[in-house]
Amino acid sequence: MLHSTFWHHGASDLSLPLWWAINPASTGAEQPAPSSDGPPLDFLYPDKTLALLRTLSVRSDGAPDGRRLQLQRQPVRSYATARRLDSQGAAAELDGQEDGVDVAEAKEAKREMHERLMGSSAHDSLSELLRRQEPGKQELAWQLYNAIPARALSSRPPDLILSLLEYLSADTEPAIPTRIIRLFEQLPGQARTASSFRAAIIAQVALRQPGPALHLHGLAVGSGRFVEYEDHVPNVGTDVLLRRLVADEQWDLAIRAFSEYVSETRFSINRQRTTYRIRWGQTTLPEIWHEAAQLPEIKEHVQSLLVYIRENKYAHMLKPKKKELFVAFVQSFLPNVMDRVLLVRKPNEDDIWDWFTKLFEDMTSLGIPPDASYDYAINTMMQMDRYRAYTNQRKLHLELYRRYRQWYLYERVDDPKWKTLPPQLPMLTAVITAHGNHDSWHRVEDVVQDVRTFYPDRPLTIPILQSLLLVYAEHGDVENVDKYFAEFKDTYEITPKQAQSLIYVQARRADVPGALAAFRRIREELGITPDLQMWNTLLLAYVRADDLDGALEAFNHALDAGMTPDVYTFGPMLNMCANRGDIEAFESLYSRAKQMGVPVDTDVRARSGYVQAFLGADDIEAAEEIARGMLQQWKAGILVGHPLTHTWNIMIQYYALRGDVANSRRLYRDMVDNKIPLDNITFGSLMRALVEIKQTNAAYRILRKTLPVNNMRVEAIHYAIVMTGFLKEGQYDKALEAYERMVERNVNQTISSRRAAINTVGMSELVRLMRARNNDPRQQLKHVEKLLRGMLTSGDVGQDIAHRQPNHNRHIDAQTQSVVPASYYGLLITLYNARGAYAICKELFAKADASTEPQDYEAPTTFLTAIMESHYRAKEWDEVQKCWDLVRQSSSKLVKTFRQVMNPAPSGDDGSTSLTDGTVIQRFEESSIALNRRQVIVKATRIYIRSLINRNPKMSPTRELLAKAQHAIRDLLVNGFVIDNFTWNEFVVALAQNGQVVSAFTIAETYLMPRFPGWRNLAPFYIRHDRKGYQWMELRHYDIKRNTVLPRYKTLVVLAKAFAVVKEDERNGVGYVEKEAKWAREILEEQAPNVCRAVETMPRTNDKIQERYLEEVRS
């Protein structure tokens, strides 16, 4: 009997395979086919066409050649027989060389069967084999089955046959599928299960007979036959059948199989029709498409489907029901193909871009609604790391969203019978989060506006509002956090998760008063009891503001409130200790955390704080040793969390700040060799190393070339490093070029970049005025003032702090929101100080004072230092003294350690002014202030000491001023502050020039001479006039560091003059000290032998300095 399709189509318009020409249900008893049989209805074909058909093979989906069967097969019996073979009969049948049986495998299976039958029956052996699911024993299982007597098999339930069917069909490409069909046919109709139908369908598909397979599939899914409960998904072989049909590109049959499945077996999901859920992008039925999606040429099959749609779409869209199933077929199939295209080991983003854009263009042109496919594609990409991470390449998910929006708002054609839903809210939430994480604020607001357009009568959902609160809080945007929190409060019930964002946004801005106000509001106004996360966030606010006293107080309050600390409680505290180089406090907190069960020893960031603490204490060897131990534990899987990138970055930064390029590159190579991920901060540290050795052009090349090539974001810190480097080298044009590049690319600013911008624009203006020979101190720097006004009016200075980039500052200072404007004004005042524009500086003082909030305001040290310099230049000594008192007060918070807070030390003022007393150096070394912050007021100290030295002696006695300067220096030393080289030398010179020769010599002996390298060995009688200053000493440029303290050439010349005067007085009988019973020369040689030796062996150069100070003595 011919299949019905042949009665309605011509011979050249058949979409069915040729073997459907004969209905297998009418074959009756199994009859051997003559070898001369050709294709059915061969009389309809011309001779040449018939010859071509006989030479063609059936298209395969990639199965091994050994398993491919020919088009013409022996017919399969469609009835069961009651006659069974005994073991001898089975062996005889085996010897009959069944089609597809490997002879060697059959012999091995027969041998193993005999071994097993020696200990148990065939039934028991087969049952044990199937229970254990021994792999690769299909031939043995078949032989054991044939060895079971027919009577024993007929008297038992069909469970053994069902298990055997599952075992034989475990591989979707069985070697001998006819055996599966025989077993299936032996099962009574009521005994057939979903797994047995699946096995039969697998066998029919393996025989390349989709017709019988589709028939069996219809029986299996009919009326939800095997659906045991709601949302139960029986596995009847739909996935295998669709794989075969898609591989053969028989789309009519594939649509038929899909329609049967969703109409009968998978009619609903969670009490909602499956086709609706597919249409709305809520499901893609991966259980039936995952096999087809793995086809090696799936992209070509999709193109074939699009061609089929173009040719037949009108036939499938005439009736609503047919259209619904057809669209559901396409919208469930394509997402599974998208997964295959996206989830590859080595993706080619250009090919993926082309495939997706072409696919949606084709869907739109064909009239297939693309909304569900757009939604699935964007959501899938948003869940993948490579699309969430930063890239400087084109972004496919954002392009798809743009097209989706364009289609929905402007291109779609509404059908009254076919409702089009707006873009799904979860997808919109993911897009908002993606834009926010990459600082695209205008795009965030654009998408929020899209949400309001798509859903005009609905408020923003909880996930969207929560995402907006988190994004804006992360970047310190108080205005938007307050706006969306108010919207959330008006629409939904506030939970601690949303309330916490009020504290977090203030913590990111380092605004302690704001964080405390938010904390009180949550507790009093909202009636929410603060949880551990809120306490941790409040603690973070103190830590970011570098407020040690407040942090300890908040920590103790959290414990008193019954909170159990976690790693986020101890993490900020450990970080604060590490930044101050307070190893003792770090180890104490670390031990306490372990005692309380907090897993800080397995957390990478907590352990990296240990490295930071030793770096702060200038113990790089210990820091590297800890880092190597962390690397071993990371490889062993002990450490969890973040990668070791941050740990290596801070070590590279340590060497970079010291201009040690070799060690910086060594650590960089360690990262590459040990596969530690690199980031843009790693390259920023390398740039810093290059800047320190005056290779800023190479650092700028990294910014322009290396970072983009490595697909890394160029951030404000990189521009700040480059601009500072160019200014340091005097390349003002290059610095201005880097600044303009930063502005052109709309880089989000930080405090470091804004300070670098002020210095860059200001220095460029100063150079321009200098070249124009404009020395008028009243000339204003218009460009830099305009830049500063823009910083303070158009932007939010708090957001300049709420970043996660390293700071690039010359001086350590408080980083709180209240001090940012004053620090900017301090830079501008410094620029005007260079021109002596004191009148303008006074105006800036007033503006800076007006920009600050009076409550709890404490001026930054850099600002106070700039004011001190202005007053110093204007010779307003009382104002300098006031500024100095404020500097000492503000600096105490920057250098304080945990021990000082817990055990305040008594006042260090013992009334003595001696600097050579042994207790001074001892107390300096034993001081408990932060080791890496002892230099925070170096510049302020220098200005203050100069103000005491250079005051007009007519108004204040010079000796008293020198005593005051000496007392100030002693106070700084006993409290742990360092004095820089300029201050020491200028103070010694002042002492020597004002008659305090013994003090000058002893102080120089104690603090300057220990690092004096000696004079260079010069050829006698060879006078050189090209050397100046340090060049007369046995020094090289790399021997002089920022913290090096040694006598300057001018200092030694002044001391030489004083020593010559002392010796001259001795020759004249003046200078005998009766108390010591020694001449002044003898006292100097006894108390300062190194200084005396240095001035006596000083080379006679007759340069300008020697002529200035020694001419009178020589004459």
Instruction: Compute the distance between CA of residue 838 and CA of residue 880 in angstroms, rounded to an integer.
Output: 14
What pLDDT score was predicted for residue 13? 45
User: 648-657: string of b/e by CB count within 10 Å (b at 16+)?
Assistant: bbbbbbbbbb
Q: Does 245 have pLDDT greater than 70?
A: yes
Reduced to 3 states, what is the DSSP secondary structure of residue 73? coil
pLDDT tens, residue by residue, 694-707: 999 999 999 999 99
Question: Do 254 and 308 form a contact (C-beta atoms < 8 A)?
Answer: no
pLDDT-based confidence at residue 364 (cuts at 50, 70, 90): very high
| Arithmetic mean of pLDDT, 828-835 | 69
Q: Does 472 have pLDDT greater than 90?
A: yes
Question: Do 751 and 784 form a contact (C-beta atoms < 8 A)?
Answer: no
- Give the 3-state secondary structure percentages of the chain, helix then strand then coil, rounded to 5: 65, 0, 35
Beta bridge partners of 1079: 1072
What pLDDT score was predicted for residue 95? 40
Q: Does 896 have pLDDT greater than 80?
A: no
Type of residue numbered 285: L
What pLDDT score was predicted for residue 30? 40
pLDDT tens, residue by residue, 387-442: 988 888 899 999 999 999 999 998 887 777 677 888 999 999 999 999 988 888 88
Instruction: Compute the distance between CA of residue 686 and CA of residue 652 in angstroms, rounded to an integer.
Output: 7
Token pair belonging to 75: 């017919």
Q: Give the relative orientation of helices 861-873 and 877-895 as an angle to the nearest 10 degrees.
A: 160
pLDDT tens, residue by residue, 841-863: 666 656 655 655 544 445 677 77
pLDDT tens, residue by residue, 590-644: 899 999 999 888 888 888 988 998 888 888 999 999 999 999 999 988 888 788 9
Please report the DSSP string for 334-375 in residue order: HHHHHHHHHS-SS--HHHHHHHHHHHHHHHHHHT---HHHHH
pLDDT tens, residue by residue, 777-788: 667 677 777 777
Give phi and psi for 355, each to the nearest 5.
-65, -45
What pLDDT score was predicted for residue 89? 38
Token pair belonging to 276: 């609706």
Q: Give the relative orientation of helices 320-342 and 251-260 as an angle to the nearest 10 degrees.
A: 100
Angle value at C-alpha 908, between 907 and 913, nearest 5 degrees:
135
pLDDT tens, residue by residue, 495-521: 999 999 999 999 998 889 999 999 999
Instruction: Compute the distance between CA of residue 948 and CA of residue 906 in angstroms, rounded to an integer.
Output: 27
Question: Do 565 and 558 form a contact (C-beta atoms < 8 A)?
Answer: yes
What are the C-alpha distances in Å from 516 to residues 502, 564, 628, 850, 851?
10, 21, 41, 24, 22
Other beta carbons less than 10 A from residue 877's beta carbon: 18
pLDDT-based confidence at residue 318 (cuts at 50, 70, 90): confident
Q: Does 981 have pLDDT greater than 60?
A: yes
Instruction: Compute the distance between CA of residue 546 and CA of residue 576 in angstroms, rounded to an integer.
Output: 7
What pLDDT score was predicted for residue 70? 36
Other beta carbons less than 10 A from residue 398's beta carbon: 17
Other beta carbons less than 10 A from residue 858's beta carbon: 16
What pLDDT score was predicted for residue 850? 60
What are the C-alpha distances in Å from 251 to residues 198, 276, 301?
21, 22, 10
What pLDDT score was predicted for residue 78? 36
Question: Do 599 and 568 form a contact (C-beta atoms < 8 A)?
Answer: no
Ranking 358-372, 711-725, 830-844, 930-944 by mean pLDDT, the lowest is 830-844
Instruction: Compute the distance between CA of residue 284 and CA of residue 372 in angstroms, rounded to an integer.
Output: 9
Q: Please name the residue that has the structure tokens 């690397």.
A: 631
Question: Do 630 and 651 form a contact (C-beta atoms < 8 A)?
Answer: no
pLDDT tens, residue by residue, 11-55: 444 444 443 444 444 444 444 444 444 445 555 666 656 556 655
The percentage of the chain sitting over the pLDDT mark of 70, rounded to a whole number, equals 82
pLDDT-based confidence at residue 864 (cuts at 50, 70, 90): confident
How many residues are given for the chain?
A: 1115
Q: List, in sequence order, the alpha helices (H) in 407-440.
A: 425-437
Token pair belonging to 352: 């993926």
What pLDDT score was predicted for residue 337? 95
Type of residue numbered 776: D
Q: Does 473 have pLDDT greater than 90?
A: yes
Type of residue numbered 884: W
In 758-888, beta strands by DSSP E: none
314 or 226: whose pLDDT is higher?
A: 314
Please report the DSSP string for 260-299 in residue order: HIIIIIT-EETTEEHHHHHHTTS---HHHHHHHHT-TTHH
Q: Does 1115 have pLDDT greater than 60?
A: no
Angle value at C-alpha 417, between 414 and 418, nearest 5 degrees:
55
| Arithmetic mean of pLDDT, 361-369 | 91
Beta bridge partners of 1073: 1078
| Arithmetic mean of pLDDT, 876-883 | 86
Reduced to 3 states, what is the DSSP secondary structure of residue 1033? strand
pLDDT-based confidence at residue 448 (cuts at 50, 70, 90): very high
Count of CA atoms in the C-beta half-sphere (13 A) of 202? 26
Q: Does 73 have pLDDT greater than 60?
A: no
Question: Do 933 and 877 form a contact (C-beta atoms < 8 A)?
Answer: no
Measured in whole angstroms, the distance separating CA 594 from the mean position of its chain's CA atoms is 28
pLDDT-based confidence at residue 65 (cuts at 50, 70, 90): very low
